[in-house]
Amino acid sequence: MALEDYKKKRNFSKTPEPSGDTAEVEKRKTQKSSLFFCVQKHLASHLHYDLRLEWNGVLLSWAVPKGPSIDPADKRLAMHVEDHPVEYGSFEGVIPEGYGAGIVMLWDRGSWTPETDDVEGSLKKGDLKFTLDGFKLKGSWVLVRTGGYGRSSSGGRGAGDGRSWLLIKHRDDWAGPIDITTFAPLSVKTPDADLADILAADNPEVWSGNPPAKGGDTGTMFRRIIERALEIREENATASPAATSSAAREDSAKPAATRSTKPAAAKSVSAKSVSAKSAAPKSAAAKSAAKPRKKR
């Protein structure tokens, strides 16, 4: 039942996101392994970071617009959103359309430990203390629900409806005056990948000039990332196969007769001129092909 909202919001014939297997929820509930946590950087209608804590076989989820901060002076707004399936914790990719359309990067992952024996009670009370053990985020944290904080009389979405929490780092060895999202911006799943690399590995032309956000900072970010993803695609397509493309390298090792013609075809066509779907190599080889990086 916990994933009802998650499923209602999505059309799984149109999104690569995991569909949320109910049997998986039950399996996970009874597993005695450590509790999973992750943070996904999600560029959609607005950039935000989704903090997810495994509990009762699902991922409790908060959308943090500014992202987590390891500076205890920062109180980061965290909007409680629908539970996600545990499988979502390894998801990284492009949501072409519909709910959450945009790019998802797995920004951090690891395990979490509640600093209380009564997690349900703490959630109900709106004060959950916990420890994170991720690649980027570690140490003690708290999520506190904000009572009347910033309550809007119009009853609008946001403050006042019980969905607004604050994510705050406790003072410990893992705290410091570092902007962690800027300091460590890349994926923990795909080596050296940023949002543009993730889009390039999928399909930089998926929105063909009509990205999920057009105006403001988010629109600017989308334009920049799409442009960069097209560059990466082009660099990969024109790169010398001997020096850079593992796909081509593997290919040339085969007898000529069985050689696939794909790499050659990909090389001869500019990324911009290829139709959207056919230009999307999803293979690991295509992803791992070396990317000469330009200064940004």
For residues 100 and 263, which CB has a smaller minimum distance to Mn ion in the complex?
Answer: 100
Instruction: Choose one: 43-51, 117-125, 186-194, 240-248; the region binding Mn ion (CB under 5 A).
Output: 43-51
CB of 107 to Mn ion, least distance (A): 12
Instruction: Choose one: 47-55, 105-113, 176-184, 236-244; the region binding Mn ion (CB under 5 A).
Output: 47-55
CB of 42 to Mn ion, least distance (A): 4
For residues 195 and 289, which CB has a smaller minimum distance to Mn ion in the complex?
Answer: 195
Q: Which of 28, 41, 42, 138 binds Mn ion (CB under 5 A)?
A: 42
For residues 104 and 286, which CB has a smaller minimum distance to Mn ion in the complex?
Answer: 104
Instruction: Choose one: 38-46, 149-157, 184-192, 266-274; the region binding Mn ion (CB under 5 A).
Output: 38-46
For residues 46 and 262, which CB has a smaller minimum distance to Mn ion in the complex?
Answer: 46
Q: Would you list the DSSP string of the chain? A: -TTHHHHHT--TTT--S----HHHHHHHHH--SPEEEEEEEEESSSEEEEEEEEETTEEEEEEETT---S-TT-EEEEEEEEEEEGGGGG--EEE-SSTT-EEEEEEEEEEEEESSS-HHHHHHHTEEEEEEEESS-EEEEEEEE-SSTT--TT--SSTTTT-EEEEEEPSSTT--S--HHHHS-S-SSSTT--HHHHHHHH-TTTTTT--S--SHHHHHHHHHHHHHHHHHHHHHHHS-TTTT-HHHHHHHHS-GGG--SHHHHHHHS-GGGS-TGGG---SHHHHHS--PPPP-
For residues 107 and 141, which CB has a smaller minimum distance to Mn ion in the complex?
Answer: 107
Under rule CB under 5 A, residue 10 binds Mn ion: no
Q: Which of 17, 50, 108, 197 binds Mn ion (CB under 5 A)?
A: 50
Size of the site for Mn ion (CB under 5 A): 2
Q: Which residue is nearest to Mn ion (CB)?
A: 42
For residues 194 and 251, which CB has a smaller minimum distance to Mn ion in the complex?
Answer: 194
Give contact residues for Mn ion (rule: CB under 5 A). Answer: 42, 50
